[in-house]
Structure 1
């Protein structure tokens, strides 16, 4: 039943060209904008390009944002159209339904991360110490995190506009406090404490470990496992929002 749900969702996405464009094309275009933003900077040869630092972080942030948006709106449509309620009247288990959605969107997230990473390395010549494979791994986990949060937040929205309104609450604070703009040790104590429990912080820290080391470090694996654990917890919380009968 889980795989059947995943196939159904993928079939719906296949006929939705705008969603496919948003998932596969938009992150690459945004990455191009970041590259050209720093194209004319003048740095000594020994100093790494700003794009190598910022662009690497964008490979995690863009999939997270896009998949949160697409998943929350798609799941909201399922709830408001009655599709979800009709499915829950069948013998399908809530876990089958939820993880079916997660698998379908995770496949799209993996494709999205591969496209964006390929553009970063082959077109914009991203230069870091670590392997591109680990970058793709973190990007995929981050995108799956966006999927999980999107599934959870869709339960608290009644319209697509309300679903989008969750972005300033769930997504933007993580981007601001993950350490991309200001080092976490330079934040005040309250913001630093908050940033220490935000999921996006762990992905940024893991990418920094990849950028500065040719081999994976214990810190990178620890951050990766924490992110995976957060994804599982969020999916479990999302399953609690599924009801077989509306009030």
Structure 2
């Protein structure tokens, strides 16, 4: 991989997104609106204090997965990727460039979502807000990495949506949002413990309640980071020049 080619890819992607207001709105505004909707639903109860951290994990993760996977797939279907790879640009440069571009957007998205949840929706954080920010960024980057991985296998935008039951829904169902994982059947509990979104939810809950020390939280961030690196590596190895 070449750093200059990677950064050139990052810049090109950011320029494309800058000229697409709908994508910007989807990335930066929609997760916060969904978090606000959940807070409004539970306005007369104390439930939002319990599920708010999970929403910070869930909505940015889903949005980053969809936007990243569809944007990368369009590069391949339009023939842009084939033209780029006919030059010195390698698959690793392409994937890492996309990761950096959407990683920067994930930072902005997380800043908006965390700020909105805490300042507007009233989500109380007993631990460090900065640590909450770090975990939320890792979660959004996870959605980006899995989106890049899904785009390597999909042929159409519709197939990207079809991959959601594989990459997204099991993590939501087994992540502890609906039922604590230790109350799941033993097999499902083990599966849930190996899924990265579960650890993002655990870490955000721990920061929110202040019940765990920082070592517990950083260990889960490291687990998420391993998934991110693994998804990027597999995605770069399986990326095709174009869709047949």
Report if TM-score (shorter chain) is over 0.5: yes
> Matched residues in 2 for 1:104 and 1:142: separation?
16
Partner of 1:96: 93
Residues 206 and 220 of structure 1 are in contact (CA less than 8 Å); yes or no, is this contact kept in structure 2?
Answer: yes
Partner of 2:68: 71
Q: Residue 201 in 1 paired to residue 198 in 2? A: yes
Partner of 1:107: 104
> Matched residues in 2 for 1:149 and 1:181: separation?
23
> Matched residues in 2 for 1:162 and 1:244: separation?
17
Partner of 2:130: 133
Partner of 1:40: 44
Shift in Å at residue 59 of structure 1? Answer: 0.8
Partner of 2:208: 211
Q: CA RMSD in A?
A: 1.5
Query: How many pairs does the alignment contain?
Result: 240
- SS of 1:231's equivalent? helix
TM-score by length of 2: 0.94
Match for 1:2 among 2, 6, 17?
6
Between stretches 214-223 and 98-107, larger displacement belongs to 214-223
Shift in Å at residue 216 of structure 1? Answer: 4.5
> 1:160/1:244 Cα in 2 relative to 1: closer, same or farther (>3 Å)?
closer
Q: Residue 154 in 1 paired to residue 158 in 2? A: no
Residues 206 and 212 of structure 2 are in contact (CA less than 8 Å); yes or no, is this contact kept in structure 1?
Answer: no
Moved beyond 3 Å, runs of 4+: 243-247
Match for 2:32 among 28, 50, 54?
28
> Matched residues in 2 for 1:128 and 1:140: separation?
16
Q: What 5-or-longer segments of structure 1 have no aligned partner?
A: 42-48
Residues 88 and 243 of structure 1 are in contact (CA less than 8 Å); yes or no, is this contact kept in structure 2?
Answer: no
TM-score by length of 1: 0.93
Q: What 5-or-longer segments of structure 2 have no aligned partner?
A: none
Partner of 2:142: 145
Shift in Å at residue 128 of structure 1? Answer: 2.2
Match for 1:164 among 161, 166, 189?
161
Q: Residue 121 in 1 paired to residue 118 in 2? A: yes
